[in-house]
Amino acid sequence: MKHSNPTAPSPNPTTTTTIGAITQQQFDTFSTTTNEAPSAAFRQSTQIRQTTTISPPSTKHSNPKAQTTTVNMSSSLDDDEPSVFYHDARDGLLTSAADKQKKALNHFNCFLKGHCLQIGIDVVEAKDIPYKGTPRKSTNKAVNEFWDKIIGAFITCMGSHARSGCNSNGQRISLNTADGCSSSVKAYFTNKFRTELAIPVFQKQQWAKLREKLKGLCRESNRSKGKPTKTEDASSTCQDREALSMACIWLNTPEFAEFWHLSDTSCHCSGRGSEVSLIKLDGITPLEVNKLVYSCHVLAVQLQRQKSGPFQTLPIYPHRDGIFEDFCFSLIHLIVVKGCNHEHACPVFSKAALKTKESGESNSGVFKEWTKLFNEIRTTFEVLANEMNEELGSHLNCRGSNEAMVETQSLGGCAPTF
């Protein structure tokens, strides 16, 4: 009489391999019906799990329930790195440079609308102009002549006719703006055609001559029309800053306490609103300053510059003339009114500064947030409306042209301060 071993496995165990939420059979069917291997991303996202079901012989000693053993195996497919597309670094610009180039190309496209009609060709935009010119030229000499004429005409337009915002009724743009736009257009085409032969008009010697012509055109145009060029962004005065400070104290809300401190900080650091809004609370530290035969302690802030890139530690001295423009006083007021339970000293503005586009590029909203609160102050306090420059913006103090003598270390020391 033969006795069955209850622990002996069945000679034909059932094996099912599951990949993610599908079986191995479905996986193989996919490969057969599509006549192609599943994509790397599909394979990467799946984990092969093999489940072996052992059906023992039917005896009274055997367990009526099937014994199931699950084995997790790491597929060699999991070793595949996910595919990442790396764009050419030369095709991407930092946010500030990208905005500058966008404005410059708007001026160039506006110029092309008239220039193309003058030379009898279809109107095109900068992105549509090929290296060989439009219409296409057959020789290198003809190509160089095309670019020489079109860039020369553009410089004349920028020096004598260009208006702010490409608006025919707008103000004349400044020489600095015209020069910056011209340089951005040059950089755009130089990068676009970097694999082609160099275009002579963009080379150092010829470009220097065009810049001198641009300066002369701006001067002559201003004299002939008797109108000054458009000025740069307005900078604040002591009267502006004092009026804003008093308004924020009267309003006594967390938002305006932050607004006041941001404006004071931008003045002391000579920085943009989007720069100083990212100063962290743990980045504000005491600093010992030694001057001749004595020493004293002041505050120092850690600041990251956007354009030039350096990470600086700037000493902040008490304001010489009054508490309304003093960094320490506005900081204490901010802590009392708003608290200090946030990473950044100005959490509302730091959140606006860290906004990004869908592409991941920076899309700072500090200017918009600052302008909203500034306009609210002007409408709430009608008396102050006449005491403040209505054209101020979040960059109002970044130039430092109206700073008191000792607001920064580079302009003075402790002796005149104390």
- Considering only CA atoms, which of 209, 210, 204, 143 is closest in space to residue 182? 210
pLDDT tier at 304, thresholds 50, 70, 90: confident
164: left (phi over 0), alpha (psi -120 to 50) or beta: beta
Question: Of the given ranges (183-197, 366-380, 384-398), which has the lowest mean pLDDT?
Answer: 384-398
Indicate the residue type of 124.
V
Q: Are strands 14-19 and 22-23 parallel, antiparallel or unpaired?
A: antiparallel
For range 353-375, the mean pLDDT: 84
Cβ proximity of 54 and 9 under 8 Å? yes
- pLDDT at 207 (0 to 100): 94
Q: What is the pLDDT of residues 315-335, one digit of tens each?
A: 888 877 778 888 889 999 999
SS3 string of 60-94? CCCCCCCEEEEEECCCHHHHCCCCCCCCCHHHCCC
- Considering only CA atoms, which of 283, 296, 301, 286 is closest in space to residue 417? 296
Domains recognised in the chain with CATH numbers:
14-79 (no CATH), 96-225 (no CATH), 238-417 (1.10.443)
Indicate the residue type of 66.
A
For range 286-294, the mean pLDDT: 81
- pLDDT at 51 (0 to 100): 41
Q: Between 366 and 50, where is the model more confident? A: 366
Most confident of 24-38, 225-239, 278-292: 278-292
Question: Of the given ranges (55-69, 90-104, 129-143, 349-363), which has the lowest mean pLDDT?
Answer: 55-69
Q: What is the mean pLDDT of the chain?
A: 74
- pLDDT at 69 (0 to 100): 45
For range 291-307, the mean pLDDT: 81
Question: Of the given ranges (116-125, 233-242, 289-298), which has the lowest mean pLDDT?
Answer: 233-242
What b-and-e string marks burial along 390-418, b requiring 16 or more CB atoms within 10 Å of the CB?
Answer: eebbbbbbbebebbbebbbbeebbbeebe
For range 271-276, the mean pLDDT: 81
Question: Of the given ranges (62-66, 187-191, 236-240, 351-355), which has the lowest mean pLDDT?
Answer: 62-66
- pLDDT at 152 (0 to 100): 93
- pLDDT at 380 (0 to 100): 86
